[in-house]
Amino acid sequence: MRILTVLASLLVIVAAGGAVYVYSGSYPVGADVPHTGAVFSLLAAVRDRGIAAGARDIRPPTDLKDARRISDGAGQYATMCANCHLAPGYESGSAWEGLYPHPPRLAHATDLKPAEVFWAIKHGVKFSGMPAWGKSHSDDEIWSIAAFVLQLPHLTPRQYADIVSRAPPDTDMIMMPMPQGRAATAGSMGAMPMPK
């Protein structure tokens, strides 16, 4: 019984110490200061397991390699995603540099399954800067973006520029109202320039 009392007391002390630490504002929350290794590992595990669990029952469509679907996702990727996740031929960018943790460079590779890519795009990831695009895009549009993301590691900078230049634009982003009544375009949204 005495051991249980000691363990309970230690638990209360640790919880109280943690609460004091959190409420004191001592933990550095700025994106320019990395997490400690333990915190980073814990958050990465929570993120990875959460995405895997969320995607567990999602069944991808059979046409993820269809050229039309990939093209439909290309324009949306260039408008919505490339500033953070980069494009073939880019190793860095101002948005990518400013985010912590750095978003994955999707042109390099992804170890996510198609359903996990879809889930991450649709639901976003808390405290990462990744928005929940499912609030403004249909599942079909998100599958097109996922199809394109899965092809990114296989594209050269020239192929990327070519497919994006021929892709239908993301109409939601183009129609976004801007000051003085102007409509946003890929250029006015600060889209990443095409690699040469």
| Domain residue extents for the chain | 35-181
Query: What distance in Å separates the CA atoms of residue 136 and residue 143, rounded to the nearest whole number?
Result: 14
* 55 contacts 118 by C-beta, under 8 angstroms: yes
Per-residue pLDDT tens over the stretch 77-130: 999 999 999 999 998 888 899 999 999 999 998 889 999 999 999 999 998 889
Q: How many angstroms from the chain centroid is the CA of residue 147?
A: 15
Reduced to 3 states, what is the DSSP secondary structure of residue 183?
strand
CB proximity list for 43: less than 8 A, separation 6 or greater: 35, 127
- Residue 170 CA to residue 79 CA, distance in Å, equals 7
Q: What is the pLDDT of residue 191?
A: 52
In CATH, the number for domain 35-181 is 1.10.760
**Which residues partner with 130 through β-bridges?**
125
pLDDT digits (tens, 9 = 90+) for 7-52: 888 998 988 888 888 888 888 888 888 988 998 999 999 999 999 9
pTM of the full structure: 0.80
Closest to 186 (Cα-Cα) out of 167, 122, 94? 167
What pLDDT score was predicted for residue 32?
A: 87
- Please name the residue ranges forming H helices in the chain: 2-24, 37-55, 67-80, 82-85, 94-98, 114-123, 139-151, 157-166, 171-174
